[in-house]
Amino acid sequence: MSEREVDSELVARVQRGDKRAFDLLVLKYQRKIMRLLSRMVRDPSEVEDVAQEAFIKAYRALPQFRGESAFYTWLYRIAINTARNWQVASGRRPSTPTAIENEDGETFSQIDNLTDISTPESVLASRQVVETVNAAIDALPEDLRTAIALREIEGLSYEEIAESMGCPIGTVRSRIFRAREAIAAQLRPILNTDTERRW
């Protein structure tokens, strides 16, 4: 059974009144939604509230869900819209995070432990790259930051991102390209690459 089929079965159970099936969907996607929202909301104390609100909205809208898209794509779109609404309602702009996010493969710090040939210099260089990438992502405009996070961190396809963000696929490609270019510009001095090479 594919992930989409599992989700479809859980959604069908929820639509028939099985609240425990929705709990399973929340457990399955909670960390991914929190990780996505942490790129948009930035205030760790608010991320959980926005995620909870997104799941509540999804639960209320689930009777109308027809399965024309994958459940997680639909859920990501709700989460993105909830975060945008939260920003507008609170009159806040995303703040700069005070710490580097270090979980779920968003950084390369775990690579340091995979080999015995690591030197203090290579460990420091790896951390510098990670910090630079995270800072570059955080400095991106929200639409670019969301697109690159959905693609590179969540692994969504261009089609799924277009559906989640409610925009044409060409716009998604453009946003991801611009985000990658901005990140590459920040990495060039660290990696000593010339301006002709993106990475």
The full 3-state SS of the chain, as one line of letters, equals CCHHHHHHHHHHHHHCCCHHHHHHHHHHHHHHHHHHHHHHCCCHHHHHHHHHHHHHHHHHHHHHCCCCCCHHHHHHHHHHHHHHHHHHHHCCCCCCCCCCCCCCCCCCHHHHHCCCCCCHHHHHHHHHHHHHHHHHHHHCCHHHHHHHHHHHHCCCCHHHHHHHHCCCHHHHHHHHHHHHHHHHHHHHHHHCCCCCCCC
What range does the domain containing 48 cover?
1-95
82 & 113 share domain: no
89 & 171 share domain: no
pLDDT-derived band at 120 (thresholds 50, 70, 90) equals low
Mean pLDDT of the chain: 79
Rounded Cα–Cα distance for residues 17 and 30 (Å): 21
Domains identified in the chain, total number: 2
103 & 131 share domain: yes
Average pLDDT of 27-54? 88
32 pLDDT more than 50: yes
pTM for the predicted model, two decimal places: 0.57
85 & 118 share domain: no
73 & 102 share domain: no
91 pLDDT more than 80: no
Domain CATH code at residue 23: 1.10.1740.10
61 pLDDT more than 70: yes
Phi first, then psi, for residue 131 (nearest 5°) are -60, -40
126 & 175 share domain: yes
90 & 111 share domain: no
Which pLDDT value is given to residue 58? Answer: 92
107 pLDDT more than 50: no
Average pLDDT of 112-139? 65
55 & 111 share domain: no
Average pLDDT of 159-174? 91
Average pLDDT of 30-36? 90
8 & 61 share domain: yes
